[in-house]
């Protein structure tokens, strides 16, 4: 077992992270979305270590993180004009764009696809570490595959202690859910995974289509454009259910369930907290920030059933809904 060091982000720890990464090691780093498990995106052996540490399916491609626009052209065959305009507006930030990949990107990184997903994070620590490396970093969420994504360094430690040499602590993630993933289709933008860069924001630039797999369960045999969307995800040990009821009605329903069942926990938007209820925030930004952390807390509290109030699906709410659907294995209770 490796000794896993946990260091606050500063110049020294950034140098150590870059050293490990140059040697083909993996390091967990903060980003504004969730913590990432980083490795040299262009080094096959290094990237394999990410899949191994996370237990991630081989066909689930990784996002390649860059710290400046000049790192993009070597990774891709071409950059559509629309992508340049979006980069100008949303990079650094939580937007991932999919391009035709160049031969510089190994197949392990792209999960065998001939495309590559690229993002420039806003987070200072992430940017600094990429810059020190001088190569792009593949960095999926730094959790064990299937578990809720990590939004604090402690979450990463819980999952990956003994499996990776270093975790850089940059505090709580501002956004709390993973980046928006888009691809381009004849001048249109298709959202494969909703995030903090919303459909509404993107529609200022081009027509936007939200991919069906982002908001509905795929039927057997249907293939996902974004391989990650087909896996069960973000799940605590407890059974999660989305409850389509709000305010008083939500509270009444959950209270009734808790009276007849053991270890029921309810996440409500702006509810008063007590033994059963936890507040997951009154707006989508707060809900995104808290969701994964609350799902982990549910496990700590020994919850068997977690009932979550159906979030508003506009703006960033769509990202919250998308993650919740997967945590709940698409189960929605109509009250």
Binding stretches for Mg ion (CB under 5 A): 140-141
Query: How far is residue 63's CA from residue 41's CA, in Å, rounded to a whole number?
Result: 9
Residue nearest ligand AMP, Cβ-based: 228
Nearest in space to 230 (alpha carbons), one of 189, 194, 193? 193
What residues numbered 192-211 form the site for ligand AMP, per CB under 6 A?
Answer: 192-193
Residues 6 or more apart whose CB falls under 8 angstroms from that of 86 comprise: 95, 97, 182, 189, 202, 205
136 binds ligand AMP per the rule CB under 6 A: no
* 166, 16 contact by CB (below 8 A): yes
176 binds ligand AMP per the rule CB under 6 A: no
C-beta of 224 vs 333, nearer to ligand AMP: 224
* 61, 37 contact by CB (below 8 A): no
62 binds ligand AMP per the rule CB under 6 A: yes
In the bound complex, what is the minimum distance in angstroms from residue 225's beta carbon to ligand AMP?
A: 6
User: Residue 119 binds which entry of ligand AMP, Mg ion, none, with Cβ cut-offs from 5 to 8 Å by kind?
Assistant: none
Looking at the chain, how many residues does it have? 335
Interface pattern 93-112 for ligand AMP (x via CB under 6 A): -----x-----------x--
Residue nearest Mg ion, Cβ-based: 141
* 166, 7 contact by CB (below 8 A): yes
C-beta of 141 vs 293, nearer to ligand AMP: 141
Among 28, 50, 97, 229, binds ligand AMP (CB under 6 A): 229
Q: What residues make contact with ligand AMP under the rule CB under 6 A?
A: 60-63, 98, 110, 113, 115-117, 140-141, 178, 181, 192-193, 225-229
């Amino acid at each position: 077992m490796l000794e896993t060091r946990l260091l606050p982000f500063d110049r020294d720890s950034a140098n150590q992270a870059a050293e490990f990464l140059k040697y083909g090691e993996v390091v967990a780093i903060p980003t504004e979305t969730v913590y990432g498990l980083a490795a040299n995106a262009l080094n096959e052996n290094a990237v394999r270590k990410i899949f191994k540490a996370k237990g991630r399916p081989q066909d689930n491609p990784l996002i390649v993180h860059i710290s400046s626009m000049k790192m993009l052209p070597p990774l891709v065959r071409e950059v559509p004009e629309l992508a340049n305009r979006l980069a100008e507006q949303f990079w650094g930030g939580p937007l991932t764009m999919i391009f035709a990949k160049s031969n510089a990107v190994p197949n392990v990184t792209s999960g065998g696809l001939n495309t590559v997903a690229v993002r420039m994070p806003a987070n200072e620590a992430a940017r600094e570490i990429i810059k020190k490396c001088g190569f792009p970093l593949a960095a999926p969420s730094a959790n064990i595959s299937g578990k809720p994504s990590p939004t604090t360094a402690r979450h990463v430690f819980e999952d990956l202690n003994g499996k990776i040499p270093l975790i850089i602590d940059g505090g709580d993630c501002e956004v709390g859910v993973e980046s928006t993933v888009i691809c381009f289709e004849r001048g249109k933008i298709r959202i494969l995974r909703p995030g903090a860069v919303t459909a509404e924001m993107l529609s200022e630039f081009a027509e936007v289509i939200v991919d069906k797999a982002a908001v509905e369960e795929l039927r057997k045999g249907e293939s996902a454009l974004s391989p990650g969307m087909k896996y069960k995800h973000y799940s605590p040990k407890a059974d999660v259910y989305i409850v389509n009821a709000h305010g008083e009605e939500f509270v009444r329903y959950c209270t009734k369930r808790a009276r007849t069942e053991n270890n029921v926990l309810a996440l409500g938007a702006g509810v008063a907290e007590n033994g059963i209820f936890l507040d997951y925030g009154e707006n989508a930004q707060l809900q995104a920030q808290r969701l994964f952390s609350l799902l982990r807390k549910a496990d700590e509290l020994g919850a068997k059933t977690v009932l979550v109030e159906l979030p508003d699906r506009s703006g960033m709410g769509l990202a919250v809904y998308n993650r919740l659907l997967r945590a709940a294995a698409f189960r929605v209770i109509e009250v």
